[in-house]
Amino acid sequence: DADVTQTPRNRITKTGKRIMLECSQTKGHDRMYWYRQDPGLGLRLIYYSFDVKDINKGEISDGYSVSRQAQAKFSLSLESAIPNQTALYFCATSDPTAGAWGYGYTFGSGTRLTVV
Amino acid sequence: GDSVTQMEGPVTLSEEAFLTINCTYTATGYPSLFWYVQYPGEGLQLLLKATKADDKGSNKGFEATYRKETTSFHLEKGSVQVSDSAVYFCALNNAGNMLTFGGGTRLMVKP
């Protein structure tokens, strides 16, 4: 099994629908992240969580919410999907004990979301 | 705030050609620098890293040197292969364990 698993891998949804993207990890890392990837814009941080009781907004949190159900699970929700949320979404974990400054990031394979 | 700028792609090369992908950054202090690679249909994987000025990161024939004087971390490979076709991301981490990514550069290597 993959260290970081994202479901679904692909999803097409209609404008206005609520959708949840799920992420689970077997790395045992406390820190988890949701990123959005758009062509030419790299990855932009949506939300991050440093432990189960800690949730923080990232660069582009508007229109999104998250839930950290357990150390291993971090879900991203779009309350009312809109077409400009069409993108590739990545979940990641990190281990701050792996070394200085961002070593030990592990990414999932991504969820491709299309809002029509 | 911190930022990373990469050359726009796609970069198209023939097999065995020399590769350079430019990356420059803006950050206060002394960030760590990274190159990540994304193969088709997969997530990002760490390719190489450097944590201080003049450090050279290397992996799988790729190299990048942390140049503080020019705030650059250019990725190079002497002889690319078709299997190197992917999207390459330059990134920095400037305290707090948070990564800032560049826009990505798609590399296409033709046989």
Interface of chain A against chain B, CB under 8 Å? 4, 31, 37, 40-45, 48, 90, 92, 94, 96, 100-103, 105, 107-110
Question: Which of B41, B46, B103 lies at the smallest CB-CB distance from A42?
Answer: B103
| Residue A107 to residue B45, Cβ atoms within 8 A | yes
B21: confidence class by pLDDT, cuts 50, 70, 90? very high
pLDDT digits (tens, 9 = 90+) for A64-115: 999 999 999 999 999 999 999 999 999 999 876 665 544 668 899 999 999 9
Nearest to residue A36, comparing CAs of A114, A110, A115, A116? A110
Cβ contacts of A59 within 8 Å, gap of 6 or more: A44, A45, A46
Best to test chain A binding among B2, B59, B97, B101 (most A CBs inside 10 Å): B97
Residue-level pLDDT at A4? 94
Residue-level pLDDT at A47? 96
Please tell me the least confidently modeled range out of A54-68, A97-111, B44-58.
A97-111
Residue-level pLDDT at A65? 97
A11: confidence class by pLDDT, cuts 50, 70, 90? very high
CA distance B48 to chain A (A): 10
| Residue A90 to residue B31, Cβ atoms within 8 A | no
CA distance A12 to A4: 22
